[in-house]
Amino acid sequence: MQIQIGIDGMHCASCSANVEKALNALPGITKAHVNLALEEAMVEYDERKLEQDKIFSSITALGFSVRDTLHLGEDEHIRKMHEAKKRMDISWVITALVVIFMVPHMVFKSAILGHVADAWVMFALSLIAMLYPARHVYVSAFKSISSGVANMDALIALGTIASLMVSPLSLIISSIKPHDFAGIAAMILSFHLTGRYLENRARGKLPKPFAN
């Protein structure tokens, strides 16, 4: 039997490869192929050996979701694109504020509120970026790591959390300067969310013969 499955949450080649690997590992699967651009999987399996629900559960166990329909409608594509743009815009506003506090230190060796105070302002702004516009990145990273695989979100989460921890560590390790990496997390997230927006916009512009 052959089925096609719509999958939400895949954003990189590693995501689609992990889904494809998990599907092909199921007993009863004859062949499974995952298309990242179309966000769908084509699965051939022996229905006498494998139930369809187990195929779906192997996908959701990786942190992805199975769509009720194979393809997203135009309205849903537009909604996802606007949502991605909103997250991107908010993140860049936060990053612009971070840059305001970062540039005086980097270029002029001066500060707005004071070197330490500026660092903690950048820390707070980066934390806001992580908890609000980029919250879904960390949810995705947690699900990915919990399932025993690492996707792009896991790498972004690792880098941004490491950057953010510089300021708290400076309180106990005197050789660490709190302003060294305090605002980098917000910048990383802004570029990442820009990529997500461009990805959603590109998917929404797929030619109809290709998308269907």
Spell out the domain ranges in the chain: 2-66, 74-204
The whole-model pTM stands at 0.84
Give the Cα separation of 36 and 7 in Å (integer). 9
**Distance of alpha carbon 56 from alpha carbon 7, whole angstroms:** 10
The pair of three-digit structure tokens given for residue 12, joined into one six-digit string: 């990189």
> pLDDT of 51-66, one tens digit each?
999 999 999 988 899 9
Average pLDDT, integer, range 164-172: 87
- Distance CA(141)–CA(111), nearest Å, equals 35
CATH number, domain 2-66 = 3.30.70.100
pLDDT (tens digit per residue) in 112-137: 999 889 989 999 999 999 999 999 99
Helix runs in 132-178, H state only: 135-146, 152-164, 166-169
C-alpha span between 128 and 93 (Å, rounded): 11
Q: Are 33 and 1 in contact (CB under 8 A)?
A: no
Section 62-78 average pLDDT: 85
At residue 212, does pLDDT exceed 50?
no
- CA neighbor of 34 nearest in space, from 52, 57, 10: 10
pLDDT interval class at 151 (50, 70, 90): confident
